[in-house]
Amino acid sequence: MVKRIAAVGLALLGAWSCASVPSTPSAYFVADIPADVTMRLSLDDRLAAKEAWEALRQGRPERAGKIVSRLGSTNPVYATGLAYADLVAGDLAAAEEGFKAALETFPEMTPARVGLAQIYESRGEREKVFTEYREILKKDPQDRWAKPRYESLRDDLVKGSLEAARAARSAGDVEAAKREYLKVLFYEPERTEAHLDLARIYRQEKNSESALLHFRAALAAGQASEEVLTEYADFLAGTGELGLSLEVYEKLREVRPRDEELARRIEELRAKLGVFELPSQYAAVASLDAVAREDLAALIGVKFESYLDAPPKRTEILVDIAMSWAQRYIVKVASLEIMNAFDNHTFQPRRIINRAELAETAIRLIGVLQARGAKFVPLVDARRVQVADVSPDNYYYSSISRALALEIMSVTPERMFEPERVVPGTEASRVMDIILRLAK
């Protein structure tokens, strides 16, 4: 009988020793290891990482730390796993350093950013939390853990900074107001009211460049009221951008056809620009899918009229422009050698241009403007410009390199210039507008 009781006791003791130690689920969210990281692990490491992550979620940091330690420091899970073990154990300082170290070696380890966000949140460092949320969403815009938290925090931060900016303006502290508005734009770059208020502040400070930047950003959101459009048009007129001002006023005229004051402003601008003399075809240039030589000549002739009114270098005889709507502009640009005629004295006004030809024309135009006192400063040395699809022996290489150095034209993310691609009206107009701004 005694032997039987002893046997039962030993059996119960063995069962107790084999039972799992009770655990409390972690108070912290432990994010899944990204699939692209998991795929790089061996099967054994993958199973070990899974076991470690389960231990973390069960609130067993010592167990998780032992498993992760066996993976080795070169494993992408190693540093993040140990940092989570510190986090679950309550050592936030060690966890923070561990997560930062993990991201230095393996930036794709999103769980490390999730861990940092929780640490910063526990300390009330909301801007740091916001930055981590944003970085998580760059990798996965629909991240179910970060997205709702990011949006809620963003709205709260924007509201607070807007209130602080308005209070600062009311108190006459313009610099503090600007700082708060810029914070708003850090949190929400498309926030229209912040752009508008900054534009108004910079306009009062006569900082036209910054005011223009924020006016355009506000309008790009597509939520501008008639009042804002009027303000923008007035600003453009005041800075000498008469053509752009006229365009905005004419858009307003479509919705306010009986506004006499608006009509008066439009007529004044038309008189200053000589728009009443422009052929009707000019208005359509910006919307063309492909710009012809006569269209480009007209853009230059109209936009740079005040710069090109000096006597031309020579009189150019052209035999094929009599029927072109842009005849007088063609004569001007050809005489100044901004756009060359062909050997047979033709201009070929309806010939479609490509990006290489636009670059050459832009550089020739800049040369004429420089000769008349305008200063153009390249942002980089043209000799250092590298273009994947334009070799140094290309006829247009010099013009393309200089256009890129001046940043009046650009390349694709793959550094392709696409010299043979036709030029839409929007691009031709944009290039001419950039040159016009640089010339002032």
Highest mean pLDDT among 16-30, 369-383, 410-424 belongs to 410-424
Q: What is the mean pLDDT of residues 392-401?
A: 93
pLDDT digit string, tens, across residues 78-90:
999 999 999 999 9
User: What pLDDT is stored for residue 222 in this prediction?
Assistant: 63
Q: What percent of the chain stands above pLDDT 70?
A: 91
Of the residues 277, 310, 339, the one at which a domain ends: 277
103, 25 contact by CB (below 8 A): no
C-alpha–C-alpha distance, residues 285 and 301, integer Å: 13
Tokens describing residue 152: 């809620």
Residue 204 falls within a domain, yes or no? Answer: yes
Same domain flag for 421 and 315: yes
Same domain flag for 130 and 264: no
Of the residues 244, 277, 310, the one at which a domain ends: 277
Same domain flag for 343 and 355: yes
Residue 92 falls within a domain, yes or no? Answer: yes
Secondary structure, 3-state, 126-144: HHHHHHHHHHHHHHCCCCC
Within 10 angstroms of residue 377's Cβ, the number of other Cβ atoms is 7
C-alpha–C-alpha distance, residues 126 and 110, integer Å: 19
Tokens describing residue 1: 């009988």
Same domain flag for 260 and 286: no
Same domain flag for 53 and 103: yes
Q: How confident is residue 408, by pLDDT bands cut at 50, 70 and 90?
A: very high
Residue 88 falls within a domain, yes or no? Answer: yes
User: What pLDDT is stored for residue 16 in this prediction?
Assistant: 35
C-alpha–C-alpha distance, residues 375 and 101, integer Å: 48
pTM metric for this prediction: 0.55
Phi-psi region of 299 (alpha: psi -120 to 50; beta: other; left: phi over 0): alpha
Same domain flag for 211 and 301: no
37, 109 contact by CB (below 8 A): yes
User: What pLDDT is stored for residue 18 in this prediction?
Assistant: 40
184, 158 contact by CB (below 8 A): yes
- Specify the higher pLDDT residue, 327 or 224: 327
Residue 199 falls within a domain, yes or no? Answer: yes
Same domain flag for 132 and 269: no
Domain around 106:
35-143
pLDDT digit string, tens, across residues 108-126:
999 999 999 999 999 999 9
Same domain flag for 87 and 199: no
- Of 159-173, 190-204, 266-280, least confident by mean pLDDT is 266-280
Q: Mean pLDDT score of the chain, rounded to an integer?
A: 88
C-alpha–C-alpha distance, residues 241 and 216, integer Å: 13
Q: How confident is residue 8, by pLDDT bands cut at 50, 70 and 90?
A: very low
User: What pLDDT is stored for residue 275 in this prediction?
Assistant: 57
C-alpha–C-alpha distance, residues 373 and 242, integer Å: 21
Q: What is the mean pLDDT of residues 360-389?
A: 89
Count the domains in the chain.
3
- Of 143-152, 178-187, 235-244, 360-369, least confident by mean pLDDT is 235-244
Q: How confident is residue 436, by pLDDT bands cut at 50, 70 and 90?
A: very high
Same domain flag for 300 and 431: yes
Residue 220 falls within a domain, yes or no? Answer: yes
pLDDT digit string, tens, across residues 220-270:
766 668 888 888 888 888 888 888 888 888 888 888 888 888 888 888 887
User: What pLDDT is stored for residue 17 in this prediction?
Assistant: 40
- Specify the higher pLDDT residue, 130 or 190: 130
Same domain flag for 295 and 428: yes
Same domain flag for 68 and 202: no
| Rg of the Cα atoms in the chain | 33
Highest mean pLDDT among 15-24, 288-297, 367-376 belongs to 288-297
Q: What is the mean pLDDT of residues 291-299?
A: 96
Q: What is the mean pLDDT of residues 320-336?
A: 90
Q: What is the mean pLDDT of residues 295-316?
A: 80
Same domain flag for 39 and 131: yes
Residue 19 falls within a domain, yes or no? Answer: no
Of the residues 106, 128, 143, the one at which a domain ends: 143
Within 10 angstroms of residue 148's Cβ, the number of other Cβ atoms is 11
Residue 70 falls within a domain, yes or no? Answer: yes
Q: How confident is residue 44, by pLDDT bands cut at 50, 70 and 90?
A: very high
User: What pLDDT is stored for residue 314 in this prediction?
Assistant: 59
C-alpha–C-alpha distance, residues 134 and 304, integer Å: 44
- Specify the higher pLDDT residue, 225 or 331: 331
Q: Where are the alpha helices (DSSP H) in 274-423?
A: 293-303, 327-335, 355-371, 397-405
pLDDT digit string, tens, across residues 351-371:
999 999 999 999 999 999 999
Q: How confident is residue 73, by pLDDT bands cut at 50, 70 and 90?
A: very high
User: What pLDDT is stored for residue 5 in this prediction?
Assistant: 45
